[in-house]
A and B are shown apart, each in its own frame.
Chain A
Amino acid sequence: MPLRLTGDEKMFRETKSGLAFVLPAFALLLTFKLWPIGVSIVESLMHTGITGTRTFVGLENYAYLFKADPVFWSSFKITLVYSLIINPLIVLIALGLALLLNTGMKFVKFFRTLYFLPSAISYAVVAVIWGVIFDPYYGLANSFLRFFNLKPQPYFSSPNQALLCIVFLVLWRSVGYWMMFYLAGLQGISEEIYEAASIDGAGRMQKLWRITIPLLKRTTAFILISNTAFNFLTFAPVYILTNGGPQGSTNLLMYESFKSAFVNLDMGRASAISTILLLIIFLISMIELKLTKTSFEY
């Protein structure tokens, strides 16, 4: 959990007002966030029979998912692979861009806004744009390739390329956003540290590895954690462009859960997958937090 400042601030002891001010928002969050999660966990322990009767079945839904549901396993694996590809890439590229833009040249402002622009565009629109650009027949991408006499690619119609295309469009949309956090972090590092290092004979790469990156640890942790959670829940590109295909190669867990709930009307399975996702996100957030907290030193 993020550090809570237990400052010396004198707080006002006001039970009535305190509760009155906090309750509306809290009630809403309770009703629409916390309670549904609790119910969902309970729901995932139930089975809905054909007649509509619900019976308590314990962890049977989960056991079934992991033992006898190849579609789930495939989805699970694909989601993990996707996660392992996209999260490090976002961090690396965002950092790279921030380093490039941290040079204070006049033209930097233009590029900063340009790279950040896609994050004002919704994922649905981003998916639509790249779906069209990557269209094998009329899309811009293959038009370019043909222009340079290179081989046109199948993109979303190929089980080998589809997931990577999704990675690409998510990167396009998000690196500019996270780059801003790195820029803010970089600007928080004072020049003097670098000057002192120069005096000690440190070269560019050394400054990068020994000073910049360690000082950006908190930012990196924040970006990694936020991203891991967010990317596990990728839905829009799959729903709009691939429907999990071709051949299930882009069947991420969130989409699989959606299919369960709204196509197959199997709420138990959908809830179970949803809960698993929540657990994974929670676990990974905890791990990432622990890892970066302990080795954090100024």
Chain B
Amino acid sequence: MNKKTKLSIVLFIILMVIGLLYIIPLMWILASSLRPAGSLYEYANPLTLRTFFPEKLTLENFIHIFTEEQFGVALGNSLLVAFAAILLGVVVNSMAGFSLAKFEFPGNKLIFGLILITFMVPFESIVIPLFLQVRRMGFINTYAALILPAVGNGLGIFMFKQFFEEIPDELLEAARVEGASWFKIFCQLVIPLSLPAVVTVIVMMFLFQWNALFWPLVATHSSKYEVVQVAIAAHRMTEETHWASLFSSAIAGSLPPMLLFFALQKYYVQGITRTGIK
């Protein structure tokens, strides 16, 4: 065995040991969600192969959260809120990014500076002030409260701006000479050229909305507006924690972002690392 092969094997072993820290918890959760609700505690101790491979596989825990615990409502709410924010968000943030990339007008530097500040201010740090603001404006406990604050996204604007800066001005000038309005140029020329940026922002905003806990927790209190993360957290907080439901809701709640992520990971990773490195 030559040196290179030996090193590969050592590397593989190291990576696998680390990898176990990832695989084992996930497998256990998956296995536990598929076993009959009662048998979980039975097989927790002592540790056996049965802990990971249940004798009986059942979907009852998944069915339970949809029929008895209205998890479907939470899923629906999260999907609604995510799509709405993304739709509005991609439109306004790309427009802003375009303006800052290509237009010069009085105040553009100031506006850009302010937008940079918002991007440096993480969302969670303003939850309390934002709550007070939205309450003042009168739309606490509505879908608008869950959607609107997330639409404007400094990081998204920044990403779009970086991307648009690479579109040659000559291309735009040519279109202008032909008499096209900026709006037309934007929709028909710029956006089609910018799909990687659009995809990155879509994934970013989706993950952000879908995974949000703190803001939805304070912005709404009626159960009809409950979103996925709040629903999952609520499970954990009850006296009699039903682990089975906890696991199934955690998995069900993690599927959409996982699927999205798997489908688009190439774009997403490219998008964030490209902007991060600059």
Give A residues with C-beta under 8 Å from B. 1-5, 7, 9-15, 17-22, 24-37, 39-40, 43, 97, 100-101, 103, 105, 107-108, 111, 113-118, 120-125, 127-133, 137-140, 142-144, 146-147, 172, 180-181, 183-185, 188, 218-219, 222, 229-230, 232-233, 235-236, 239-241, 254, 257-258, 261-262, 267, 270-271, 274, 277-278, 281-282, 285
Contact = CB atoms under 8 A, between A and B. Distances in A.
B15 A100 contact: yes
B115 A240 contact: no
B92 A14 contact: no
A236 B250 CA distance: 14
Interface of B: 8, 11-12, 14-15, 18-19, 21-26, 28-29, 40-41, 44-47, 51, 91-93, 95-96, 98-100, 102-108, 111-118, 120-122, 124-133, 148-149, 151-154, 157, 165, 169, 172, 176, 182, 186, 207, 210-211, 213-214, 217-218, 228-230, 232-233, 235-237, 243, 246-247, 250, 253-254, 257-258, 261, 265, 269, 272-274, 276-278
B129 A36 contact: yes
B236 A240 contact: yes
Contacts of B253: 122, 125
A139 B44 CA distance: 7
Nearest to B15: A111
Contact of A124 (B46, B99, B124, B232): B232
Given A15-B105, A22-B95, A120-B257, A270 B128 contact: yes
Contacts of A142: 45
B118 A33 contact: yes
A122 B105 contact: no
Contact of B250 (A129, A235, A270): A129
Q: Tell me if A's interface is mostly helix, strand, loop or mixed.
A: helix
A222 B28 contact: no
A31 B145 CA distance: 12
B129 A140 contact: no
Given A36-B133, A125-B254, A138-B40, A28 B92 contact: yes
A43 B128 CA distance: 11
Contact of B96 (A25, A101, A258): A25
B214 to A, nearest CB: 5
11 contacts: A21-B96, A32-B149, A34-B117, A37-B129, A100-B15, A120-B254, A140-B25, A143-B45, A218-B277, A236-B229, A270-B128
B103 A12 contact: yes
